[in-house]
Amino acid sequence: MAFRWRIGFDIGGTFTDFILLNTEARAIMLHKCLTTPEDPSVGALAGLAELVAGAGIGLRDVGDIVHGTTLVTNALIERRGAKLGLITTQGFRDILEMGTEQR
């Protein structure tokens, strides 16, 4: 079964941005809501509900939802993350390179 609707969204530090694609009409609808830093899922789920309500459809009508986030990237750039370290045993000094091998 081919679905007519697809959604993509990105959770950023201040806003969560959404795009709704109508594959039949080849049209898009954009939406933006505030990110909820204490729990980004709260803002994302509220934004999804607002987006589909604005289009007059339900989530059951959506075939694909694709998600991305810049929260971690922003935290790294701004050096706001937790201080951490990685300890390995002898012979495992390349573990970081191996961990990103498929990316």
Q: Say which CATH number the domain at 43 has.
A: 3.30.420.40
- The answer as to whether 67 is a domain residue is yes
3-state class (DSSP) for residue 7: strand
Tokens encoding 98: 């191996």
| Whole-number pLDDT of residue 99 | 67
53 vs 57: CA distance, rounded Å: 6
- Give me the residues paired with residue 28 across strands: 21
For residue 2, the one-letter residue type is A
Instruction: Specify if 66 maps to a domain.
Output: yes
Structure tokens at 5: 């609707």
Residue 39 forms part of a structural domain = yes
pLDDT band at 59 (very low <50, low <70, confident <90, very high): very high
Counting Cα atoms < 13 Å in the Cβ hemisphere of 4 gives 11
pTM (global) more than 0.75: no
Q: With 80 as the cut, is the pLDDT of residue 74 above it?
A: no
> With bands split at pLDDT 50, 70 and 90, how would you rate the model's confidence at 9?
very high
Per-residue pLDDT band for 76 (boundaries 50, 70, 90) equals confident
Ranges of beta strands (E only) in the chain are 5-11, 15-22, 27-34, 62-69
In a domain, 91, yes or no: no
Q: What is the pLDDT of residues 12-34, one digit of tens each?
A: 989 999 999 999 999 999 999 99
